[in-house]
Chains A and B, each alone.
Chain A
Amino acid sequence: MDPNSLTFIFLNAALINNFVLALFLGLCPFLGVSAKKETAWNMGLATMFVMLVSSISAYGINWILVKFDIEFLRLICYIAVIASAVQLVEMAVKKFSPSLFRALGIFLPLITTNCAILGLALFQTFREYDFLQSLAFSTGAGVGFTIALMLMAGLREKLELAKLPSVSQGAAMSLMLAGLLSLAFMGFAGLGGSHA
């Protein structure tokens, strides 16, 4: 598959190089908000949305930075603009769709400091994606994040009532589960090149 095709970029971000399970981005919400499937779903949606917004803004800023030849300010600009974009989105959602705000509300500010968002912006710049490719990349990353979060929440709900040794409760157990999921996701490698 052509490494620059939109399908490949999408699949690569969602499955092969899953943001959480292969690149370790966004671990805080992955471990923190994955106890219940419902919250995990809302968190996933909110992240996907923010990823799209910040991917578009990052694309715009980078265009300006390259134009004026001041790329050394990239990191500072990205973080500032992403943080304010999330704030703006939060205000807009609050005003125009209170029901959506109730569903996403508390998650939006949490997401700003999620390294998956900044990571997405940085990766899309390093890989020199054009606008459509950036969109495919951010959607893929968001979908991948939601999948990982939902799978984790499913596993943890199952384990809630299981008998575990007292030392393995809490974070250690979650990490072991994440390791198993990550192992399973390695099976997706080769999706891009196997049929050539």
Chain B
Amino acid sequence: MSALPNQQETVTLDTFMRGLWEENPVFVMLLGLCPVLAVTNSTMNAIAMGLATLFVLVASSTLVSLLRKMIPKQVRIATYIIIIATFVTIVDYVIQAISLDLYNALGAFIQLIVVNCVILGRAEAYASKQKVGAAIVNAVGMGVGFTIALLCLGTVRELLGAGTILGFQIFSNNFEPWVVMILPPGGFFVLGAWLLLFEYLKQRKEQKLLAAEGATANGS
């Protein structure tokens, strides 16, 4: 993780974009992996989980940032956890009200958003030091980044494991689904594969940079 500025940060596009790519909570920081693997056996579950996390992240970051001058250092973690648990409880009830099927599919993992390190990490490392505006923008960026990561896993797993996306048939009936992909091992494999891909891209970029530097060094 890059060093976070201790002084107030002005809100720029980077405040938002950082969560999407450079500091993506899942692919780069490897935080909050439990829900990432557990509920991504279908695209629908991945979207619901991503949105629920996004809401909790934004709401708790806002509140923490608003209260940042009033929270004594000694009890800050306890305060953050209470704030996060409150919003998670609210999300839990709202999802139950929207759709029981969805609630049953996600199971205890909605309530487990409380211990998602992404949220506590944002509260501690960013929202507690920054103005409300910056905190909200950053939280939205992180939440969207988290949702995108869930979608990356959810669509791949559903497509390979069931031949569908969001329940719509994609492959013809001749396709024999790789059932293992929607089972627990598939979660590990697909996330591992994504990480391999990103690592490969990163190394290729570095090599290109090196080659470019070498070229300019030779040219001068």
- Residues in chain A within 8 A of chain B (CB atoms): 21-28, 31, 72-73, 75-76, 79-80, 83, 113-115, 117-119, 122-123, 126, 166-168, 170-173, 175-176, 178-180, 182-183, 186
The residues of A that contact B188 with a CB separation of less than 8 Å are 175-176, 178-179, 182
The residues of A that contact B86 with a CB separation of less than 8 Å are 76
Asked if residues A123 and B108 are in contact (CB atoms below 8 Å), the reply is yes
Say yes or no for B192: interface residue by CB 8 A criterion.
Answer: yes
The residues of B that contact A175 with a CB separation of less than 8 Å are 188-189, 191-192, 195
SS class, residues of chain A in contact with chain B: helix
Q: If A24-B37, A171-B30 touch, does A79 touch B85 (CB 8 Å cutoff)? A: yes
Which of B17-25, B60-68, B177-185 lies on the face that meets chain A? B177-185
Say yes or no for B135: interface residue by CB 8 A criterion.
Answer: no
> Which among B38, B82, B189 is the interface contact of A23 at CB below 8 angstroms?
B38
Asked if residues B34 and A25 are in contact (CB atoms below 8 Å), the reply is yes
- Residues in chain B within 8 A of chain A (CB atoms): 30-31, 33-35, 37-38, 78, 81-82, 85-86, 88-89, 92-93, 107-108, 111-112, 114-117, 120, 180, 183-189, 191-193, 195-196, 199-200, 203
Alpha-carbon separation in the docked complex, A176 to B199 (Å)? 14
The residues of A that contact B114 with a CB separation of less than 8 Å are 75, 79, 118
Asked if residues A31 and B33 are in contact (CB atoms below 8 Å), the reply is yes
Question: What are 13 sample pairs from A and B whose C-beta atoms fall under 8 A apart?
Answer: A23-B184, A24-B184, A28-B117, A75-B111, A75-B114, A76-B85, A115-B112, A118-B114, A126-B108, A170-B199, A179-B187, A179-B188, A183-B180
Q: A114-B115, A176-B189, A179-B186 are in contact. List 12 more A-B contacts (CB 8 A).
A: A23-B184, A24-B34, A80-B81, A115-B34, A118-B112, A118-B114, A119-B108, A167-B200, A172-B192, A179-B188, A179-B192, A182-B188
